[in-house]
Structure 1
Amino acid sequence: MFWVASSLRQSLGGLLVASLFLLPASAFALDAALVDSYLQRLRQESGAPGVSAAVMVKGELVYSGGAGFGDLEAGTPQNGLSVHNIGSISKTQAVIAVMQLVEQGKVNLDAEIQTYVPWFPRKQAPITLRQILTHTSGIRHYKSGEFGEGDVLRYQQFDDIEQASKRWMNDELVFTPGQHWLYSSYATNLLQALVERVSGERFETYLRRHVWEPAGMLDTQFDVPSRIVQRRSRGYVLDKSGGRLVNAQQENVSYKYAGGGVISTNEDMLRFGDALNRGLLLQPATMREMLRAQLAPDIEYPSVAIEEEKLLDPLKAPSRPPVQALIWRLGTDPWGGRYIEHSGSVKGTYSELVDYQDDEIIVSLHVNAWATKPDLKQAAEALARLAKLDFAIETKKK
């Protein structure tokens, strides 16, 4: 399996695109050629034009680079400074905003969502903010065909989250809140409405002032079609009829800024994790509440989700839900290392952010196509393992 750390040391050959490094002169650094080779292998396995990664250890950037291309038409390389869609990793920034308001005593996690979003219709049972943050609200996720013929609604610009929510907000719940786990980006989009109403600031303004700038994330912003973004990486998909890569369908993500509408870089993702770990964004008690396992270990998917999965693949049913904190997921790698993480995919791209808080190791990965969807979480685990081992060896030498 490609994620085994020892496989990183295999020579793969082939042409590598030069990596970009921004390392302090005295810093510990990973073996750049080794990681480059691993990313080239991941690029080949995923069928992506470009793969990039960045790794931070003890607050220092120890690797930032990539293999392949971020934009095939322009021929620009993919690296740690390429700006790309991060998809649902956007949710981790939204939850920070919410928890800051909790710290200020302005928001109660166990209050009904209508306390902060009064325009959201009441359902057959009350929905709390905590249930939205743990994907147990019963609010549905996307469904096929809802964007209209030709997916024309995907191109619509929404300047108001209430207007953007009208296509789904009157639907009945999939299940009684708290009864099951079902991932829902629509539910998390309500976090934008909450932050704006409670703070009195537009959502992007709030994130810039209270999350991105305090963390030093100067390349992070909303994905707005009219904006010109330097160093932008594009997304691609596999044309199954022709077996070749084509441009991914464009999409206006203004209907889901909180759920998946942010663009960023691998390096900014590391700054985000580091600011979180150093207490620059939340107080320790708030962090503990956000990052503890919130659900019973035996919680299950609703039967409707299992049936839908079987329709796609009769031999496959969903595995058990992840260990769910507030938005964040809790994981353990094959070597016993514990981390928090989130992934994201949109417009042909796929991203992963893994934060080993105990070891102070953060890994961010991105691919700009998934002809064969790679397991970026396993890849991040492997890079974190390499960083941990190499750092231990370097420390022992000193």
Structure 2
Amino acid sequence: MNTSLTLLDRNLQLVRYPQDLQHPSWQAWDAADEYIIEYVEQNIQDLQNQSVSIYNDDFGVLACWFAASKPIWVSDSFVAKQSCLVNLQQNNILIDAVTFYDSVTPVDSPAELVLLKIPKTTALLEQQLIDLQARVTPSTTVIAAGKANLIQKSTLALFEKYLGRTTTSLAKKKARLVFCQPTGIKSHSSPYPTIWYTDKPRFEISNLANVFARQQLDIGARFMLEHLSKLANMDNKTVIDLGCGNGVLGLYILNQHKQTKVVFVDESYMAVASAKHNVLLNLAEKEPQTDFIVNNCLDNFTKKSKFTDVDIVLCNPPFHQQNAITDHIAWQMFKDAKSVLQNGGQLVVVGNRHLDYPNKLKRLFGNATIVATNQKFSILSATKR
């Protein structure tokens, strides 16, 4: 892995988190990071005396570079925050130089300079621009950066709608900058959370902007729900809904099994907040049987959860981190599940049939059973022995 960023006669040592699971060809910054750093350094005066806010800094490169300005740092990703903390430390930058906010905690202070990486999820960008309305004035400078193919006319229209006049730079190394001049008019409210309903039973499912399957029940979860009865007996068990999203799987389990405890885990703050809201909205009486954790898979699980005797782990692993296609998250989920399960406990996975999950599970657990399959998905079960 390339860990050395040299730019404008400065050098930073940067890694992705968790470092030991990353592909050797990856690095912790991209051309958009370099482009926005170069532009700010060459065009923004008196930088250290401005209130700087950084959004969606995937691995902490912007926080490290602009640490002297004591920036506010906002992200929906627990993993991004851990990357940022590691990179601050290894570049001998005090962690106190950065003020961290998650995506569900309002930032009240005004911003003079906003540096924003364009997120993959358009809804998250929209929510962040809405949130920024309360923090910007006509004197605020807003600069966004991203891969050129992520910056569409619709992207620019969001900046225009919520903040003000917007222009773009020329493309450089397939990256582009967006410049926005806020008007200071705060006339738009948020369309989020998105709400939809399940059938039998009818649950109201509320989804904040960055939640996976925000607009409807995703087909992987639907397939898992169809076959829950084929899984191990969940009565009076402790179940982890790993990568819980809006929490719909755990919600069904709580409804069907009176004494079962469910731990909802996701690396997205918005996902865990949505899952908790959905439990309290639909099954408030089950709240004592639940726990909600924002985490990188199941890192230090026994220190973070009030329920530690785990019988079943359910997961639908993502196969991307930021914009990179990867299976390292699935592998970490599988390993972490094995480490927290009691002997005889089960990991239940739903995934696309083309993924090599059966062999991975057999290698790790020594066994793997196909519970159900269709043209797109397989549900697999592995038992800790």
User: What range describes the TM-score normalised by the shorter chain of this pair?
Assistant: under 0.3
Report the structure, 1 or 2, having the larger strand content: 2
Structure with higher RCO (Cα < 8 A, 6+ apart):
1
Q: Bigger radius of gyration, 1 or 2?
A: 2
